[in-house]
Every structure is written in structure tokens, then in C-alpha cells.
Amino acid sequence: MVEVDGLEHQFDAPGFHAIRKRFRNISQPVVLKSAYALLNVAITGHSHAVFSNVEAARTTFPFVPKALYELGNFEATDVAGACFESVINVVEIRPHERVADFIQRMQVDQNNLTAHSSAPWLEILKALSPEDASIMPLISRTQIFNWVPGMGTTGTNPNQNLEMVMIAARSDIGMAVNAGIGGPEGSTVFLHFRGTFVDEEREKTREIAHQLEKITRWITKEENWLAEVGKFVECLH
């Protein structure tokens, strides 16, 4: 048994299959991130959800000459080293918007975040007011949503010659949510919460995990796709 820090939670959400079948352009991470955005405003009471998410940032590189792309043989794996980027999500929650339209809007936002994830951080800060620029680093490490491909193999050892005995992280962050999907039916959501808040507020984190589960189940149910997104609060009571 691998010892893991933080708090883990998992649940089945069979509605993932239905929503992917109906909306083929919607990715699984976006569905869960939509639920996370709703959870954010449920807790804060604000009209907008603000958090960061991690991008692999290997689809476009602003420093690569266009001529290289035109050769047709450029691959992101040709670039050595990690390319991870933190991008900021500012999501307006429109209570009367249909759930289906909300998730579609989240997918458009996600596509743009991916396309521009390599935008120079310092240049972005220069374009902002001093007040807005000062809070950007805080936003980037307060709440983090991170989709982890392959996390659905939780509980197994992907290494052939090594035995994993412990996973630990002590980052300067408030709360990071690593998420993935897998399981026998491909609809089991795996969540791993880490960070200072998680270490200090275990029971509150457990409550947040259950709330995220309820919202995810609610938005993936077909009967709710045409409902107003603001009605999600009903599933929390």
C-alpha cells in the first residue's frame, strides 16, 4: 500500500459517458472543471470563480519560427524538459444559463487557455494594473485544478522495477486538486487534495470533496443539461 499525503476521494459518475456521447467536443477534464467552478462560487458567494489550472503547454510555442511549423514535422516532444504552465481561470457563473451551454462555454475557455498557455508571464503582468498584477501570483497558488492523465490507475504500480512506498509534496499552495478518471467502467473520478489548507482543515476538505462529487453527478445527469445552472445549489442540500 502506497502512503499518500493529502486527502484522496473517489466516486462513480456514469453520466460522464452520456455527456461525452451527446457533446463530442467536450473533454472529460472540462466537465469536472465546470463542477469545480460551481463549487468555487458556492463557497465564496461571488459571481465569478477564480482559480488556476496546470497546462502541459506542448501544443504551441510562441518562440518557434513559423517556418518550422510549415515544415510539417514539428513535434512538441522535440523540446526537452518540462513545459508546464499555470493559467488563470476567471469564470462568470450565469445562474440562468443552461448547464449544456455553460459546459460548452467552459470548453471554449479551455481551448483558449491551452492555445495561449505559453504567453510570457511578465508580459501579462505588465499589461495589468499594478493592483491586478500584484494578486496574480497569489491566485496562481491559492486554488489549483490539475487534470492528471492516467490517474485512473490509482492503486496500481506503473513501475516495473521500482516499488513506490510514499508520495509527498510540501508546496507553498493553498489547495491543489489533482483529478483523473478511470475505473472498470471508465467513469470513476479520482481526486487527490493537497496543500496547506488540506493539511490544516482535513474535515473541511473532506466536505469539499463530497460537494464536488454532488455537483459533478448533478451536471452530468442528462435530465439536468437543459436546467438553469444556478439550480446546482439544490444538490448540495
Domain locations in the chain as residue ranges: 3-236
Please state, in angstroms and rounded to a whole number, the distance separating the CA atoms of residues 112 and 103: 14
Q: Could you report the per-residue pLDDT of 105-162, keeping only the tens digit for each?
A: 999 999 999 888 888 889 999 999 999 999 999 999 999 999 988 776 554 455 567 6
Residue 155 cell numbers, joined: 492503486
Q: pLDDT band at 1, cuts 50/70/90?
A: very low
Q: What is the pLDDT of residue 233?
A: 97
Q: What is the pLDDT of residue 47?
A: 97
Q: What is the mean predicted confidence (pLDDT) over 99-104?
A: 98
Predicted confidence (pLDDT) at residue 167 exceeds the cutoff of 70:
no
Angle at 8 between CA 84 and CA 138, to 5 degrees: 45
| 142 phi, psi to nearest 5 deg | -85, -50
Q: What is the pLDDT of residue 133?
A: 93
Which of 45-49, 62-66, 206-210, 232-236 has the lowest average pLDDT? 62-66
Residue 85 cell numbers, joined: 504552465
Contact 85, 117 (CB under 8 A): yes
Closest by CA to 183, choosing from 208, 152, 211, is 152
- Pairing type for strands 3-4 and 166-167 reads parallel
Answer with the residue of higher pLDDT: 178 or 68. 178
Please state, in angstroms and rounded to a whole number, the distance separating the CA atoms of residues 122 and 25: 32
Please state, in angstroms and rounded to a whole number, the distance separating the CA atoms of residues 103 and 224: 12
Q: Could you report the per-residue pLDDT of 201-223, keeping only the tens digit for each?
A: 999 999 999 999 999 999 999 99
DSSP 8-state class, residue 206: H
**Domain spanning 3-236: CATH superfamily:** Nonribosomal peptide synthetase, condensation domain (3.30.559.30)
Q: pLDDT band at 61, cuts 50/70/90?
A: low
Answer with the residue of higher pLDDT: 81 or 92. 92
